[in-house]
Amino acid sequence: MDRPIGMFDSGFGGLTVARALIDLLPAEDVVYIGDTGRYPYGNKPLDEVRDHATEIATSLVSDYGAKAVVVACNTAASAGLDKLRADLPVPVIDVIEPGARSLITTTVSGRVGVIGTVGTISSGSYVHAVEAAAAAAGRDDIVLTSAACPGFVEFVERGQTSGDEVMVLAERLLAPIVAADLDALLFGCTHYPYLARVVTDVVGTGVTLVSSADETAFAAADLLRELGLLRSSADRVGRRTFLSSGDVEIFRELGSRLLGPELDSALPWPAR
């Protein structure tokens, strides 16, 4: 079906998922909304995040004709996935289930961790998703350690992904993760892969870092294929549209550094 795939995040984090999706399905058109005018979502009450997610996902379908919506934000998925799935007339793909699956596939020791925003961690969404993924894989040895990392998203949104300041914060916030002696750690926030270097420096190279981006792209591709919703012609380069509720020039500039050359322009959302 020749309609675009819609995606959204509070800002730049979902670009990690967009990168994976563009690479996996290069012929597909993609419309991405970064809600930088209202970010961060991580410290907001979950019902407020749910309202933002509903507004954006509805706009992706009604204003941009999205044939499916990828919730490329763990906080939005933790707050509103059930509502989005109930309300929207198109399939909704999230980052939490694919990430949890990937974490369980990766671990050997069974000691796993997840880091995310305060909203995501306090919602318990990963406790449920990891339990379900462990049960599906027949693993009864899984012990999950979770840590909220307030402040990480703000560093990424400023484009500050290295340096002493972020390192000091990471050392403090990741202390429970280091103490738990894990072998696999999931980025339960789509912004965090941009801090992979800092996180590795703190937790050590013995911990495999798992990002839900690739796994989510695979899940989206599988679902679209199953439902017969992939484009009829794969022999083209898809059109990518990036929209931001904040400053579009900043979105274009930092976004192209994070995602790559496909993000060469950004438009305002909602359309003026």
Q: Is the peptide bond before 270 cis (omega within 30 degrees of 0)?
A: yes
Nearer to ligand DGL, 59 or 75 (CB): 75
80 binds ligand DGL (CB under 6 A): no
40 binds ligand DGL (CB under 6 A): yes
Size of the site for ligand DGL (CB under 6 A): 17
Tokens at residue 173, please? 């916030």
8 binds ligand DGL (CB under 6 A): no
Nearer to ligand DGL, 88 or 95 (CB): 95
Which of 189, 195, 198, 259 is catalytic? The answer is: 189
- Residue 77 CB, nearest distance to ligand DGL (Å)? 8
117 binds ligand DGL (CB under 6 A): yes
What proportions of the chain, in percent to the nearest 5, are helix, strand and coil?
A: 50, 15, 35
Distance, CA of 189 to CA of 7 (rounded, Å): 15
270: left (phi over 0), alpha (psi -120 to 50) or beta: beta
Considering only the stretches 8-16, 140-148, 238-246, 251-259, report the one whose residues sit in contact with ligand DGL under the rule CB under 6 A.
8-16
Cα angle 172, 75, 131; round to 5: 85
Q: Annotated catalytic, 149?
A: no
C-alpha pair distances (Å), 129 with each of 107, 132, 235, 243: 15, 5, 36, 30
13 binds ligand DGL (CB under 6 A): yes
Binding site for ligand DGL (CB under 6 A): 9-10, 13, 39-42, 73-75, 116-117, 120, 153, 189-191
